[in-house]
Amino acid sequence: MCGRYVQVSTVETIEKRFNVDGGQLELHPQFNVSPGNFAPIILDKDKHQITIGQFGFSPSWAKKRMFLFNARSEGDANKENDPDYTGGKGIISKPAFRNSIRHKRCLIIADAFIEGSSNEKLNKPYLVYLRNQQRPFAFAGIYEEWVDPSSAEIIPTFSIITTVTNSLLAKIPHHRSPVILNKKHERLWLNTETPLTDITRLLQPYPSEKMNAYPISSAIKNPSAEGRELIEAIGERLEPEESITFTKHNKLFGMGHSPGRERRNEEDKKNNLN
């Protein structure tokens, strides 16, 4: 499952990366996007605009908000979450999702996501990111414009599509992974003329060698918790990466930190002491 993710990119960064217009939109860093939160997405019907939607899908026929934050690509199949599953994509026949997978697809903009072990869940969380500073990226998403019957308010609601795990997430260990789209497939995903068979072919786990993860504090499990400290590394990465030495020790840099920024912070501290 993928029920938490990180979205910290600025409007300008998102505009440049996805070739969209943010208008007068203002975004604040979100280090713990949880079901019910509002976050930026790109809809198939407004491919060149940033839209704000609510995380947690509600079918159009739902009388109450349902907050379905994940949609299984296999539908009711592969209940054992076999990572080698190659069968049908049952999402196309699920009542809640069968219309949206055909006609209401979106890009969900993210910089990283949070995953816990299958047994301990967010009591033992990891921040998962794409290597080589590949952010922001896009989850494959579906949406529905749910109408609140009490107020007639139209709310764009969205869900992240999930698939089988890859070898990196299996080390957490976690049995599912969100579908992250290759950049060259993003416009294909948003094109409502794309054949459904081509769409379902995209519902694959992201290559594990292009990802990495590190453990973070269990404070992230509180959906109201916020702040950069939530995603600071508290241990080693699952896979080794080239490290940079500043003094006598190697440092772990969490999301949003850079070696240059750390050096500047140290220099600022010294200047303030003088």
Q: Which residue from 212, 176, 183 is spatially nearest to 109, judged by alpha carbons?
A: 183
74, 115, 144, 232: the active-site residue:
115
2, 74, 144, 232: the active-site residue:
2
| Catalytic residue status for 106 | no
Predicted confidence at residue 125, as pLDDT, reads 98
Q: Positive or negative, the Cα torsion across 204, 145, 127, 261?
A: positive
- DSSP-derived 3-state class of residue 167: coil
Q: Round to whole Å and give the CA distance between 8 and 14.
A: 10
| Catalytic residue status for 239 | no
Predicted confidence at residue 261, as pLDDT, reads 39
The domain spans of the chain are: 4-241, 242-274
104-136 pLDDT, tens digit per residue, is 999 999 999 999 999 999 999 999 999 999 999
Predicted confidence at residue 262, as pLDDT, reads 42
CATH fold, domain 4-241, is hypothetical protein yedk fold (3.90.1680)
- DSSP-derived 3-state class of residue 178: strand
pTM: 0.88
25-34 pLDDT, tens digit per residue, is 999 999 999 9
pLDDT at 244 over 50: no
* Mean pLDDT score, 172-185: 97
